[in-house]
Amino acid sequence: MTGTTLATRRAPALGSPARRRTRRRGRRILYWVATHAIAIALAIMFLAPLVFMFLTAVMSSNETLTGELWPRSWHWSNFGTALTTDHGVMLHWLLNTLLYAVLATAFMLVSSIPVAYALARFRFRGRKLAFVLVITTMMLPPQVTIVPMYIVWARFHLTGTLWPLILPMLFGDAFSIFLLRQFLVTIPAEYADAARVDGCGEFAAMLRVVLPMARPAIAAVALFQFFYAWNDYFGPLIYTKPDSWTLAVGLSTFRAAHHVEWNLTMAATLLTVLPVMVVFFLAQRVFIQGVTLTGVKG
């Protein structure tokens, strides 16, 4: 699907066939060169900061302050130092981050899918209101409710842990509900109806027929949630203490703790980025499959 491009769909223009062909080919080559040149230039700009990060990560600490581009000597051990510094505190942050990201994603899926399904499939009074309210909660910046929420979690003695960020995911995530609902609406009702005719209950129809069709959307929502948790700074900044710091909060203090040892900070940064990149490259196929699926269905 990604291979099909607009360029190949170009329409034949008017004019004599022979002239048309040469002119078209000339324009095509020009067009090809232009798009590829732009794309490559952009790609270099997108990668440059990462390359600088990497080059800084392997420099010696003094060299990072000189504004030099290329390391004079390569200090691969910086990665090891970043990992093991402070009794391997980065690994501790990693475990916390994983706890947060994995549980939040799992809880979100369990709670949000039925809600999205109901909003997409069922007709009931207040359905529109419910959907508008979902959008409203989605629009709502987390800071709006943070003060009372903080007070509540403090009463349960759960501040200082990641639970105030994980537990709410058991009660549906507005963004995910919205996105799933938008996708589920596009699946023709006949599929679920057919399943019900075969004697399935509504829940079974959802699980067996509709959800497999919605797999790309579910995967996308799960990935978004996972990345959201992985990258979240505001939540852990408010709720956690050093024991329960995630990588995001830890990294922000890493810099202060290591003063301007930019090489170590950049090494730690790259190590933080790495797992997310692995997940992305593994999950990329899910994305593409999702895109293809929508194409087939449309």
124: left (phi over 0), alpha (psi -120 to 50) or beta: beta
Q: Nearer Cβ to another protein, position 76 or 171? A: 171
147 contributes a contact to another protein by CB under 8 A: yes
265 contributes a contact to another protein by CB under 8 A: yes
The CB-of-173 to another protein minimum distance in angstroms stands at 8
The CB-of-125 to another protein minimum distance in angstroms stands at 6
Token pair 């200082």 is at which residue? 160
295 contributes a contact to another protein by CB under 8 A: yes
List the helix and strand counts (H, then E) for the chain: 13, 0
In 3D space, the residue among 258, 252, 271, 264 whose CA is nearest the CA of residue 64 turns out to be: 264
Query: What are the backbone angles phi and psi of residue 222, rounded to the nearest 5°?
Result: -65, -45
Taking CB under 8 A as the binding criterion, the range among 17-25, 71-79, 98-106, 231-239 that sits at the site for another protein is 231-239
The contact mask relative to another protein for 30-69 (x = CB under 8 A, - = no) is -----xx-xx--xx--xxxxx-xx--x-----x-xxxxxx
Binder among 79, 93, 100, 262 for another protein (CB under 8 A): 262
Could you tell me the sign of the dihedral formed by the alpha carbons of 137, 142, 148, 154, in that order?
positive
283 contributes a contact to another protein by CB under 8 A: no
How many CB atoms are located within 10 Å of the residue 117 CB? 23
Binder among 24, 81, 163, 255 for another protein (CB under 8 A): 255
How many CB atoms are located within 10 Å of the residue 280 CB? 12
Binder among 18, 22, 73, 126 for another protein (CB under 8 A): 126
Return the H-helix or E-strand segment holding 166. Answer: helix 163-166
95 contributes a contact to another protein by CB under 8 A: no
162 contributes a contact to another protein by CB under 8 A: no
Binder among 29, 30, 33, 277 for another protein (CB under 8 A): 277
Q: Which residues pair with 160 in a beta bridge?
A: 240
